[in-house]
Amino acid sequence: MRLPSGRRAHVGGPRLFPASPWMPLEMSPFGCWGLPTALLALFCCPGSGEEFEVHMYPEQLVVEPGGSQLINCSTSCANPNIGGLETTLTKTLNQSGPQWKQFLVSNIYQDTVVHCYFSCFGSQKLKSLNVSVFYPPKQMLLKIQPTWVAVGKSFTVECHVPDVKPLESLTLTLLRGKETLCNKTFTGEKNDTQGATATHKGMAHREDGRHNFSCHARLDLSSRGGAIFHQVSEPQMLKVYEPTPDNQMVVIISVVSVLLFLFVTSILLCFILGQHWRQRRMGAYGVQDA
C-alpha cells in the first residue's frame, strides 16, 4: 500500500521512529527510576556521611591558669561542607585546609570541654576534648613542732602546699635526710584552694638532730597529657637534747634527803646524850659508895 508523499503504510510489528538527537539510543540501567536511585546511592553508598571520622589533637589537654593552646580539628571526609570548634573560650582560627582547621584557644581559667565538628554529605559528627586547669606546687611550707625536743619525746613534721591542683595527681613525701618518713596521696579528695597537707609524728632520737628534714611534692600529669612537676621545700633541723631530771623530782629528793639527815642526826644526838647521862649517873654512884 502506498501513501502520498511516498510513505509506506506500517504493516505489523512495532513502529520505529527516527532517533532524535537528544534521546539516547539505550535506556538507563535504572529504567524509569534512574534519577531517584542515583540520588539514593549518593547518600547511602560507601563514602557517605556514615563513614567519615572527626579527630582532635591533642586528645587530652592540661594548662596553667590563663594559658593558651593550639587545637587541631581534622576529618577523613574528602570534601566537608562545614567544620569548626565549639567552645566558650576565646578562639582564633590560626590555619586551615580542606580537611582540617587549627584554632588558638586562650584565657583558660577553669575546666571546660571543647568540641570539634564537621558536616559531610548531610551528616554531622563531633569530637570532644576535656580541658583541665592545673596549679603546680610552687610554695612549700615545712614546719617542725617543737623545734627543741628531748630524746624520747614526741615531735611533729608538717608539710603544706597551698594552691595545688589536681589533688588526685599529687604525692607529698616527708624525708629525714634521704630516708622516707611518709608518702601521702590525695586520690578522691576534692580540689579546692586550701591545698594539701602531709603530717608525720615520731619519737625523737639522738640521730634525728644530725639530719635535715624536708618535703618533696610531685604532681604527675602524664595521664592527662601533661608533664611531671617537682618541688622541694627548704630543709629544717630538729634540735635534740638529753633529758634533765624534773625540777619537782629534784625538790622531793632534796626534802627527803634533808629529813633523812635530820632523822639520823637526831638519833645520833639521842644516843650520845644518853651515853653521857649514863656516865654521869655511874660516876655519882661511885662517889656515894666511897
Residue 75 has a CB neighbour count (10 Å cut-off) of: 23
Does this model's pTM top 0.75? My answer is: no
pLDDT in tens, the chain (290 residues): 443 444 443 434 433 333 333 333 333 333 444 333 433 333 344 444 458 999 999 999 999 999 999 999 999 999 998 999 999 999 999 999 999 999 999 999 999 999 999 999 889 999 999 999 999 999 999 999 999 999 999 999 999 999 899 999 999 999 999 999 999 999 877 766 678 999 999 999 988 888 999 999 999 999 888 999 999 999 999 999 887 766 666 677 888 888 888 888 888 888 887 777 777 777 655 545 55
Structure confidence at residue 192 (pLDDT): 66
**CA dihedral for 175, 180, 182, 186, sign (positive or negative):** positive
Q: Residues in the chain, how many?
A: 290
Judge whether 218 and 230 are in contact, CB under 8 Å. yes
- Provide DSSP, 107-144: EE-S-EEEEEEEEETTEEEEEEEEEEE-B-----EEEE
Q: How far apart are CA 28 and CA 183, in angstroms?
A: 78
Judge whether 225 and 58 are in contact, CB under 8 Å. yes
Q: Which residues contact 76 (CB under 8 A, 6 or more apart)?
A: 51, 52, 53, 55, 99
Spatial CA neighbour of 137 closest among 63, 233, 217, 235: 217
Structure confidence at residue 277 (pLDDT): 75
Going by their DSSP bridges, the two strands 196-203 and 212-220 should be labelled as unpaired
- Within 13 Å and on the Cβ side, how many CA atoms surround 158? 11
Structure confidence at residue 247 (pLDDT): 61
Q: How far apart are CA 225 and CA 129, in angstroms?
A: 12
Q: How far apart are CA 74 and CA 118, in angstroms?
A: 8
Cis peptide before 21 (omega within 30 of 0): no
Domains of the chain from N-terminus onward: 54-133 (2.60.40.10), 141-241 (2.60.40.10)
